[in-house]
Amino acid sequence: MDVRILRSEVDGKATPPPSKSYTHRAFIAASLSPSALVENPLFSDDTLATLKACRFIGAEVTRWKDLIAFRGVEDVESSGYINVENSGTTLRLFLGILSHSKRICVIDGDSSLRKRPNRSLALTLNKLGAKIWGDYDFKAPLKVCGIVTGGEVSIRAESSQFISSLLFSLPLAKYDSEIKVEEVKSRPYIDITLHVLEESGIEVKADGKNFYIPGEQSYSLKTFSVPADFSSASYLIAAGLLAGRVEVLNMSDSRQGDKRIVDIAKQMGGNVRWDKENGVITAKQSELEGIEVDASDIPDLVPTIAVLAAVARGKTTIYNAEHLRIKEIDRIDGCYKNLRSLGIEVEKRRDGLVIKGGSIRGGTVDSFGDHRMALAFSLLGLVAEEGVTVKNAEVVSVSFPGYFDVLKNLSAKVEWIKS
């Protein structure tokens, strides 16, 4: 379905959903631990795909409201076929896990996921003892068979998910391992992985771009409480900056790199205050100024920054974001097309965007089947003279179920349109 957001003023309090990145990782660690509880996880399309994969490897999963109990597996002995839909995180993290099964598994995804390359990860796992078959770029579907035994490898990681996959997999290997990363992108997501591994009793020695992982370790996660998601919070913060006042709740400090949205908003002249003691971020309508943003560690914030830049005075340059081209869609191209469709002056570069802000008359933008496109660009309807219609807006359920209801509760004018 499509959704139309009309010019309106927002005011109120809102709580973002739990972290998608932490939920994926907590589910995996719990499924490899004897007995674990995950509190306050995100239930979304992507994380449910990971939960499905946990069951696929043999974990017993029981849900009570916002609590999930796991009885994990000691040995991965999966076989058969699993479709993880649109979740690239699930596919990549489980490539490493399924590389411990002696039986053949096939991991697949939807049409979008089948376009995403996994070559560096698959070749690295093969060097470590796994057997993974696919096309040249190792796009889904992939045939996987173990067993990873460990060793020393170098990898050029186009995605931090490749490193996280190895970090989850190699503690289970027979021998010690060392990963030398040629280039680290989105480092905060690796830090989230290291945090969950630490909570699971897994030893990893991280030294800059190098990671040393002892073999023959066992997962022992007990209880893990998932924090709020800063990527999702960025849309609520942006709503306040654009069109009123929003208090974002449950925002304690975190290892999530996307907490940088607070500093970026301040650099743009935004009236934002973060009360870390009480976990409240308050964002008020502000006159924004263009800035330069290095997006190497914050790819998920780029659509939000692009939306703020669209109304900011002057020029905003977003750079070091070339890894956005291999997300659910080419997000650099997606942002470019949506900004152009709303009449915003924008230049597309190999690694980012240059955006000159201005007034927005309104129009139609496309989600392109990408949740972050729908979440971010819907916000421009709050300030557009004629509102903004987002095509295929239901895709927000990938990371922020109920998003448009949250906007409605903040007094935004939201209309669903049957497409």
Kindly list the distances between the CA atom of residue 142 and the CA atoms of 45, 126, 145, in Å, as whole numbers in the listed order: 21, 13, 10
Same domain, 294 and 149: no
> Of 418, 416, 399, 356, which Cα lies nearest the Cα of 44?
399
Find the farthest-apart pair of alpha carbons in the chain and give their distance in angstroms, rounded.
62
Q: Looking at the structure, do residues 257 and 396 belong to the same domain, yes or no? A: yes
Same domain, 176 and 35: yes
Q: Which amino acid is at 176?
A: D
Q: What is the CATH classification number for the domain harbouring 336?
A: 3.65.10.10
Per-residue confidence band for 268, with pLDDT thresholds at 50, 70 and 90? very high
Statement: residue 312 has pLDDT above 90: yes
Among residues 212, 236, 255, which one ends one of the domains? 212
Q: How many CB atoms lie within 10 A of CB 13?
A: 14
Last residue of a domain, one of 182, 212, 242: 212
Same structural domain, 351 and 374: yes
Residue 47 and residue 134 in one domain: yes
294 with 387, same domain: the answer is yes
The mean pLDDT value for 370-394 works out to 97
| pLDDT tens string 21-31 | 999 999 999 99
Residue 196, classed as helix, strand or coil, is helix
List, in order, residues 6 or more apart from 48 with CB less than 8 Å away.
none
Q: Would you say residue 221 lies in a domain?
A: no
Pair 37, 179 in one domain? yes
| Alpha-carbon span 326 to 243, nearest angstrom | 32
d(CA 381, CA 185): 32
pLDDT of residue 35: 98
Same domain? For 8 and 45 the reply is no
Asked if residue 282 has pLDDT above 80, the reply is yes
- Average pLDDT of the chain to the nearest whole number: 96
Residues annotated within the binding site for phosphoenolpyruvate are 20, 88, 116, 161, 331, 372
Binding residues for 3-phosphoshikimate: 20-21, 25, 159-161, 186, 300, 327
Backbone angles phi, psi at 152, to 5 degrees: -110, 130
Would you state the structure tokens that stand for residue 293, as one six-digit string? Answer: 């943003």
Query: CA 116, 213, 178 angle in degrees (round to 5)?
Result: 70
In percent, the amount of the chain with pLDDT more than 90 equals 94
pLDDT of residue 159: 87
Task: Please give the residue range of the domain that contains residue 149.
Answer: 20-212
212 closest CA partner among 167, 255, 174: 167
Q: Annotated catalytic sites, by residue?
A: 300
pLDDT for residue 186 is more than 90 = no
Euclidean distance between CA atoms 264 and 233, whole angstroms: 14
**What are the helix and strand counts (H, E) for the chain?**
12, 24
Look at residues 107, 98, 108, 54 and name the one whose alpha carbon lies nearest to residue 76.
Answer: 98
Q: How many domains does the chain have?
A: 2
User: What global pTM score does this model have?
Assistant: 0.94
- Domain assignment of residue 364, yes or no: yes
Q: 101 and 74 in contact (C-beta within 8 Å)?
A: no
Residues 217, 206: Cα–Cα separation, whole Å: 17
State the pLDDT at residue 329.
Answer: 85
Question: To 5 degrees, how large is the angle CA 34–CA 39–CA 40?
Answer: 145
Binding site feature residues: 20-21, 25, 88, 116, 159-161, 186, 300, 327, 331, 372
Q: Give me the pLDDT at residue 336, please.
A: 98
Report yes or no on 125 lying in a domain.
yes
Instruction: Read off the pLDDT of residues 73-97 as tens digits, 9 standing for 90 and up.
Output: 999 988 999 999 999 999 999 999 9
**Among the three residues 181, 212, 243, which one is the final residue of a domain in this structure?**
212
Residue 84 lies in a domain: yes
Distance in angstroms (rounded) separating the CA atoms of residues 412 and 114: 36
Is position 218 within any domain?
no
Interval 306-314 mean pLDDT: 98
263 shares a domain with 318: yes
Side by side, the strands of the sheet bearing 280-284 are 10-14, 244-248, 280-284, 271-275
Same domain, yes or no, for 201 and 267? Answer: no
- Whether residue 220 lies inside any domain: the answer is no
Query: pLDDT tens digit string along 100-115?
Result: 999 999 999 999 899 9
Say yes or no: 124 and 192 in one domain. Answer: yes
And the tokens for 399? Answer: 């990371």
Which has more pLDDT, 83 or 65?
83
- Establish if 217 belongs to a structural domain: no
Using alpha carbons only, give the angle 406, 4, 365 rounded to the nearest 5 degrees: 110
The DSSP secondary structure of 89-136, one letter per residue, reads: HHHHHHHHHHTT-SS-EEEE--TTGGGS--HHHHHHHHHTT-EEE-ST
Please determine, for residue 419, whether its predicted confidence score (pLDDT) is greater than 70: no
Mean pLDDT of 256-275: 98
For residue 222, is it within any domain?
Answer: no
- Whether residues 183 and 149 share a domain: the answer is yes
327: pLDDT strictly greater than 80: no
